[in-house]
Structure 1
Amino acid sequence: MSQTVDRALTILPLLAEGPANLEQVAARLGVHKSTALRLLRTLHEHGMVYRQADQRYRLGARLFALAQQAVENLDIREIAHPHLAELNADCGHTVHLAVHEKYVEDQVLYIDKVESRYPVRMYSRIGKPVAITVAAVAKLLLADLPEPERRAVAERLEYPRYTPRSTPDAAAFLAELAKVREQGWATDLGGHEESINCVAAPIRGAEGRVVAAISVSAPNVVVSADELLTLLPRVRRTAEAISTEYAGQPPSPRP
């Protein structure tokens, strides 16, 4: 990378900390003020920085617009699918990708699926909502919400008793979400269908927020719950690989 480009890029994280004047920018770069001024003027011309009335510089609106456009154009399904296919080829079981549908309240949807190679398969389809109070992918997506939002969602949901292992009420659901948030993975061991078990891991964006979740599911007649749980490290590695590609850098999980 050229020295000029390197210096210009160094200015952006500096201004992300807050507005800075010419002297502060020059000091951070370790250059003369005239050099810092040339860099700032170029960035200003391209809308990447903005000079305020007090002569301090801050990040420009075009930088935020470009960032937003980049995020909107990211297709998590396109990025994730090769990884899902590889995971499926390794384990042979059904692999799902799910997201929290922001335009429809309290709905988590499957947006991709790679079928099991075994004759006995689970019924699910792309675009279908998951059983939100028991599904492992839903637990991961909801566990990442801020605490007030988690509580509000839990309190307005209904809790169908699909099986004796289904989540019974909001208190139990919140406790499960707290556990999932702490451990960083989730399971559904017969909560929706007694014969189906599932393990799941989160996909995180650049800021560490959960943007999607992947899961591996299998019926008891093919593999036991304990055997399925041995796949968890492989599932988590796949989710981490997708996260890295989606975020453009290794994501840092939020505390």
Structure 2
Amino acid sequence: MRVTVLAVSTLILGGIGFVVTTPGESGAPTMRDPQTAGQVSQLEKILKDQSIWGDDAIRLFASIDRWKEAGQTSILVYADRVVGGTKWETAGRARETAARISQAMQRPRNKLSPGFLAAYQGVLEKRIPSGQVQSSRFMEDDSFRVQWSPEGAVFLKPLTLRAVMDAYGPPEKSATEVVQAHGDRRPAVLTISEYANGAVGFVQSDLAPDPSAVDRVILDVTAVEHAVFAAQR
């Protein structure tokens, strides 16, 4: 059960115990308008920042519309895998959704915007990571999710929140979330720092080997789609 102390974060991460947001924020949920010029500008800068993203991230960005078609509104990007934001109590729906995304990824990709083609010039011509999107149990909250973990893929580079703040300033919003799994396992305490009007969330976890490092990045699927594809402009 979630008990709001100041304001409710808009990110959905699973079984959340409580939320604490930084002072000075309104209680209204974050509004994510992909057409907002300021958001798109910062979002594009973050998505093109190759000090953040590994070589395989552009393949994820180029397939983001396939995740949206399958009903995923957010995705969690780890160093070596991508996890869908939608959670299920049983594996069946997760398997069906994973199959839909895997099949959709076989289609030719849509045209990327010139800015993204230029930023990742040469990377798209490299090897294509193998591996289908699958369903798996998300150990943090014991839900079933879709997961893409191609062998040898690097989606997210080693990163600290300090490096993000040095490049983009303080987060627009910061929240602490407690994610409780089934049983007696210790809950995960997550610190989420939002940028680009909530379209990007850099997450630190107290269960990570280095709690000060960025453990994952949460992306708003619709906002990324608008930023990446030329047809969305």
Query: What TM-score range do you get, normalising by the shorter chain?
Result: under 0.3
Structure number with the higher helix fraction is 1
The alignment's TM-score, normalised by the length of structure 2, stands at 0.26
| Structure with greater contact order relative to length (CA < 8 Å, sep ≥ 6) | 2
Structure number with the higher strand fraction is 2
Please say which structure displays the higher CA radius of gyration: 1
